[in-house]
């Protein structure tokens, strides 16, 4: 397959019938055009009539995931171009919102009409529907003899990977965690596996309610199992980490099973990508930690550690109102709206001499991450999963299972490349806590914090039992920073307990207004 950035400049493709749309409520067809010039738009029927067009249809699902619509059709990185990171960070306490841009998310003052959560929901379902259209269209292309079954299975596997990624993102924001009930039978989100592309299917969608969290995770794992079986282990340089691979599917399964608290399942999946006892590498895909902590960021479009990321380029990005290079960047040209919080900067478990502190920029007001560096053209790729996460996923699972030595080795592999202050002798809860703490350091500014808060909150042992208290914005935070000191600034944005309705986002008003079943299943409190 050609490089996706090349494809996006070659064809304009609409994967839908003229009157049908892609969000769950299906309100505006303007949201559903994949911008690929210069041909006239193709109908869904013609999108799967040649091998080349089938390939472009698959590229369209990636494009929807990287640059979905916002109000008025603007691109702000929804859902995975940048928004999943920005929202995931601002729901937690380790990044510090400085301006009004993320104030609603940061302060948990959202409602069913708040733009950030509404567009996250709608664009995630847009990705899912486009994936479903591609899966159905690919099956027809195989049946018509346009492509081989092997090629078709690989294309469907890419669509299923993106569908699984989207469904999991929905579940961590709009539903309680897997362990909220003993059997995970509580409400999740609607799981859609057929395209909404005919009037009859539109009406069916308007009557579909929420599946259970248990069924949602089962659907995610089924998609990832299919992806693992049918995706290639490696790709050419242009799509090495921007297109799904077998390793990406396995890595995502290790994350999903961590959220399910299936500790042995995490180990089983992670072990497919781990060989060695002190210095770890992957027999699939050749993944390995980069030599330095800066390695994944000095070249974030291709390095040994990045397993899957979404491409952003100078010609195709989230714009200044959504890109990581603008929001997080205090280098010249950046808007510097989200800084690293003193809460994590001052944490005693983050050594003052840790090399990861050097991946930052200090201004007169605050300390900012320097993981994303291109404020000019916003070309920083959006990371989804790195090898460091796989190692820490398995480390936590091994610790939970009582396999202390291996858990400690995996933890120190990540920690040891950045600091000489590695851990020895930890066992039990102390070891698990050290691993969770290490995730906070390693994944700062990567949107991972909410994922961990969400999965750990019900247990209430290794993370806050709810939405954490946060530092409020002031004109000058610099006096509050004291690396590794354990001295914590005042948190004037208060803690919200897990039981509070604000722990999860509401189903958007646009959806409940169209679907009476969903209206009756709105998250309590909204």
- What are the tokens at 442? 């390693």
Query: Given this model, what pLDDT does residue 237 score?
Result: 83
Query: Given this model, what pLDDT does residue 34 score?
Result: 30
Look at residue 62 and tell me if it is in a domain: yes
Confidence of residue 4 (pLDDT cuts 50, 70, 90): very low
Confidence of residue 9 (pLDDT cuts 50, 70, 90): very low
Higher pLDDT, 44 or 470: 470
Q: Residue 212 gets which letter from DSSP?
A: B
Higher pLDDT, 515 or 11: 515
Q: Is the pLDDT of residue 15 over 60?
A: no
Domain extent at residue 74:
4-519
Q: Residue 348 gets which letter from DSSP?
A: T
Least confident of 72-76, 263-267, 272-276: 72-76
Look at residue 525 and tell me if it is in a domain: no
List CB contacts of 164: < 8 A, sequence separation 6 or more. Answer: 219, 220, 221, 223, 224, 227, 252, 256
Q: What is the pLDDT of residues 426-455, one digit of tens each?
A: 999 999 999 999 999 999 999 999 999 999
Is the CB of residue 216 less than 8 Å from the CB of residue 175?
yes
**% of the chain at pLDDT higher than 90:** 88
The total number of structural domains in the chain stands at 1
Mapped onto helix, strand or coil, the DSSP state of residue 515 is: coil
d(CA 440, CA 431): 15
Query: Given this model, what pLDDT does residue 258 score?
Result: 99
Confidence of residue 2 (pLDDT cuts 50, 70, 90): very low
Confidence of residue 45 (pLDDT cuts 50, 70, 90): confident
- What are the tokens at 340? 């690293």
Q: Record the pTM.
A: 0.94
Instruction: Identify the CATH number of the domain in which residue 436 sits.
Output: 1.25.40.390
Q: What is the pLDDT of residues 82-106, one digit of tens each?
A: 999 999 999 999 999 999 999 999 9
Q: Tokens 């398995």 identify what position?
A: 394
What is the number of other CB atoms lying within 10 angstroms of the CB of residue 492? 11
Higher pLDDT, 75 or 17: 75
**% of the chain at pLDDT higher than 70:** 92
d(CA 234, CA 450): 30
Look at residue 253 and tell me if it is in a domain: yes
d(CA 415, CA 450): 21
Query: Given this model, what pLDDT does residue 23 score?
Result: 38
List CB contacts of 286: < 8 A, sequence separation 6 or more. Answer: 234, 304
Look at residue 524 and tell me if it is in a domain: no
Q: What is the mean pLDDT of residues 183-191?
A: 98
Q: What is the mean pLDDT of residues 300-328?
A: 93
Q: Is the pLDDT of residue 121 over 50?
A: yes
Helix (H) or strand (E) holding 52: helix 51-66
Confidence of residue 73 (pLDDT cuts 50, 70, 90): confident
Q: Is the pLDDT of residue 292 over 60?
A: yes
Mapped onto helix, strand or coil, the DSSP state of residue 259 is: helix
Look at residue 526 and tell me if it is in a domain: no
Antiparallel, parallel or unpaired: β 306-310 and 338-340: unpaired
Query: Given this model, what pLDDT does residue 248 score?
Result: 98
Q: Is the pLDDT of residue 32 over 80?
A: no
Query: Given this model, what pLDDT does residue 1 score?
Result: 41
Query: Given this model, what pLDDT does residue 42 score?
Result: 59
Query: Given this model, what pLDDT does residue 238 score?
Result: 75
Mean per-residue pLDDT of the chain: 92
Q: What is the mean pLDDT of residues 360-377?
A: 97
């Amino acid at each position: 397959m050609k490089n996706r950035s090349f494809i996006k400049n070659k064809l304009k493709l609409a994967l839908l019938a003229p009157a049908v749309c892609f969000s769950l409520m299906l309100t505006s067809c303007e949201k559903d055009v994949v911008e690929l010039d210069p041909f006239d738009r193709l109908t869904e029927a013609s999108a799967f009539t040649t091998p080349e067009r089938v390939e472009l249809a698959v590229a369209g699902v990636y494009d929807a995931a990287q640059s979905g619509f916002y109000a008025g059709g603007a691109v702000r990185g929804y859902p995975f171009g940048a928004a999943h990171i920005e929202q995931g960070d601002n729901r937690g306490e380790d990044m510090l919102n400085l301006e009004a841009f993320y104030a609603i998310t940061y302060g948990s003052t959202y409602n069913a009409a708040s733009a950030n959560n509404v567009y996250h929901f709608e664009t995630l379902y847009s990705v899912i529907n486009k994936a479903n259209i591609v899966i159905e269209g690919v099956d027809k292309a195989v049946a018509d003899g346009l492509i081989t079954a092997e090629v078709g299975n690989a294309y469907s596997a890419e669509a299923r990977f993106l569908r699984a990624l989207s469904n999991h993102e929905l579940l961590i924001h709009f539903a309680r965690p897997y362990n909220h009930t003993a059997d995970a039978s509580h409400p999740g989100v609607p799981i859609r596996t057929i395209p909404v592309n005919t009037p009859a299917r539109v009406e069916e969608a308007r009557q579909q309610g929420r599946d259970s969290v248990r069924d949602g995770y089962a659907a995610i794992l089924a998609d990832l199992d299919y992806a693992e079986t049918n995706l290639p282990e490696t790709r050419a340089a242009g799509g090495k980490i921007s297109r799904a691979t077998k390793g990406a599917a396995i890595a995502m399964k290790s994350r999903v099973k961590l959220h399910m608290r299936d500790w042995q399942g995490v180990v089983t999946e992670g072990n497919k990508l781990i060989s060695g006892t002190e210095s770890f590498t992957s027999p699939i895909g050749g993944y390995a930690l980069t030599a330095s902590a800066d390695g994944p960021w000095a070249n974030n479009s291709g390095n040994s550690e990045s397993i899957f990321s979404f491409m952003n380029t100078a010609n195709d990005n989230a714009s200044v109102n959504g890109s990581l290079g603008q929001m997080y960047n205090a280098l010249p040209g950046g808007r510097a709206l989200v800084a690293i919080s003193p809460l994590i900067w001052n944490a005693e478990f983050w050594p003052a001499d840790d090399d990861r502190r050097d991946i930052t920029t200090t201004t007169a007001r605050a300390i900012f991450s320097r993981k994303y560096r291109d404020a000019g053209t916003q070309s920083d790729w959006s990371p989804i999963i790195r090898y460091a996460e796989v190692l820490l996923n398995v480390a936590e699972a091994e610790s939970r299972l009582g396999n202390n030595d291996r858990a400690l080795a995996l933890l120190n592999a990540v920690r040891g490349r950045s600091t000489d202050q590695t851990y020895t002798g930890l066992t039990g809860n102390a070891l698990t806590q050290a691993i969770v703490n290490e995730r906070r350091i390693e994944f700062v500014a990567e949107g991972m914090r909410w994922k961990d808060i969400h999965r750990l909150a019900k247990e209430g042992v290794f993370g806050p039992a709810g939405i954490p208290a946060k530092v409020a914005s002031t004109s000058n935070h610099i006096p509050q920073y004291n690396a590794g000191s354990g001295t914590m600034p005042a948190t004037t944005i208060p803690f919200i307990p897990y039981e509070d309705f604000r722990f999860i986002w509401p189903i958007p008003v646009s959806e409940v207004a169209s679907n009476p079943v969903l209206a009756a299943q709105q998250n309590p409190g909204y």
